Chain A
Amino acid sequence: MPNALLISNLTKTYANNVSALSKVNLSVEQGDFFALLGSNGAGKTTMIGIVSSLLHKTSGEVSVLGLDQSTNLNQVKRMIGLMPQEFNFNPFEPIEEILINQAGYYGIDRQPARARAEVLLKRVELWDRRLNMAKSLSGGMKRRLMLARALMHEPKILILDEPSAGVDVEIRRSIWALLKELNEQGMTIILTTHYLEEAELLCRNIAILDNGQVIEQSSMKKLLAKVAQQILILESVETLPKTLPKTDFSIKRLDDNSIQVILDGISISQALSELSKKGIEIEHVRSAQNRLETLFLHLTSKGK
């Protein structure tokens, strides 16, 4: 089975000589829910722009479901649905028209497009506003409109660039539910987000981009396991001494009963044994909060 997306040696240098991507290799399996993380300027939007044909690549290959983008451009375009980061619809068009037009560009006639628009607009809770101009929508509503638009032609791969930016918690959860449902139905979803908990909650696999290069690609589980072993919160029933003893690993007192340890090349049992020898008995071990965020900062230049 071919990969949903396969990127080989993808390079993009803009006309002003700014290098956005440098020999990037990336693969996303069919049916995956894939997170693409990276700080601002890391190259995520450029990569998405190239995959969705909005930008020219400088060199390298992109193939979608086994089809080379350079030689099968229209077929590749049909397979991809894009929800970009920036609003990119005509604000002076009615919402329903935006969706019907989008379907028309993919060869879907007005009648079936109208029926599909109804389903999707109801799903993203915009049906009551279907006759309003898009400019009248709030930021969150505009994002939902773009999500519905990306789904109009029933793409096999859905690319979402910051889908829940500016969306309130309740609506964000309803978007997550919709995305999970689409993924369960077999749609491959590629997501970039600044909400790392969103990636952690939704995605099975992840790649981290930094300065135009993929610095990490693995399953979310493996990645988080790696973090969980590194940063831990250790809790003791007894009150901890004000000054902690020196150890072979990084240790920080959080309060009277808990400490944070960062383990680097040392196992949890070794750490607990060392602490025990120094009079600190640990009752409970848990992984630190924001595990993905910690890893992200650790891996990217932001954390350096």
Chain B
Amino acid sequence: MWIAYKTIVVKEILRFSRIWVQTIFPPIITTSLYLLIFGGLMGERIGDMQGVDYLHFIIPGIILMTVIQNAYANTVSSFFLAKFNHSIEELLISPVSYWVILLGYISGGVARGFTVGLGVFIAVSFFVDLKIYSIGIVLITFLLTAILFSLAGFINAVFAQSFDDISIVPTFILMPMIYLGGMFYSIEILPEFWQVLSKFNPIYYMVDSFRMGFLGSSTTDFFVSITVLVVMILVLALVAFYLLKRGVNIKT
């Protein structure tokens, strides 16, 4: 099973590496522009947020946004294309267990999230003196976030029937959740009602923890955030496994 897992992961990494011009380079450029415009130029007028200057405040959120988008995009596009060109049959006829298939695709999503996240981090380091409060918190939050959104992308791909279906969720659900999850602001500045509502958005917990890893301050207890993430991962993993085992939209 280890060889099968390794094969899927290597295949996934080679897949997004081969098309680095589409998968790795653009998010690094886009994110650098975000930081330059929102952080560097407009940030000075906004002032401090959560006790730090605005540029340093938004960097963790923007890196995590890139991780979320790329982890999701990798599994949703890879698994949907495997369905579309029927290459998923290579796996279905083989003795690879459904858990290994799922784990392989999720690892591919995590790998892309990590590659792009690291790329953004390095790019940002050229312009900003970045300090990390806790590398452990940064890595744990990154890993859980990438796993969660890889799983979400996988489930989207299982249900997707067309290329439109794999762009609807990222555009109409994922992006609003990301932007309303405290990526560009601290939820402390919101009216109480919106603060409470924000806490129903799982992305808030990820951004808050990730920011804590960089800045050392957060608005929610770190262990609460991690618990929310772990519970959501377990739920989505079970759903994804069930869909795969039943062969929903894969087997008739």
Contact = CB atoms under 8 A, between A and B. Distances in A.
Interface stretch (A36-44, A53-61, A240-248): A53-61
B86 A56 contact: no
Interface-central residue, B4, B7, B11, B15, by most chain A CB under 10 Å: B7
B13 to A, nearest CB: 12
Contact of B251 (A55, A84, A100, A106): A55
Given A54-B89, A105-B94, A106-B95, 4 more contacts: A56-B247, A101-B7, A104-B4, A105-B7
A90 B82 contact: yes
B93 A52 contact: yes
Nearest to A150: B93
A78 B97 CA distance: 13
B91 to A, nearest CB: 6
A109 interface: yes
Nearest to B86: A88
Contacts of A88: 85-87, 89-90
A45 to B, nearest CB: 12
Interface of B: 1, 3-4, 6-8, 10-11, 14-15, 18, 81-82, 85-87, 89-97, 247, 251-252
A137 interface: no
A144 B248 CA distance: 30
A195 interface: no
A172 B81 CA distance: 31
Contact of B85 (A54, A89, A110): A89
Nearest to B247: A56
A77 to B, nearest CB: 4
Contacts of B247: 56
Interface string A90-114: 1111000100111011111110000
A15 B90 contact: no
A128 interface: no
B92 A102 contact: no
B87 A105 contact: no
A183 B55 CA distance: 69
B251 A101 contact: no
Contacts of B81: 90
B3 A54 contact: no
A170 interface: no
A96 to B, nearest CB: 12
Nearest to B11: A101
Contacts of A92: 15, 18
A54 B92 contact: yes
B85 A90 contact: yes
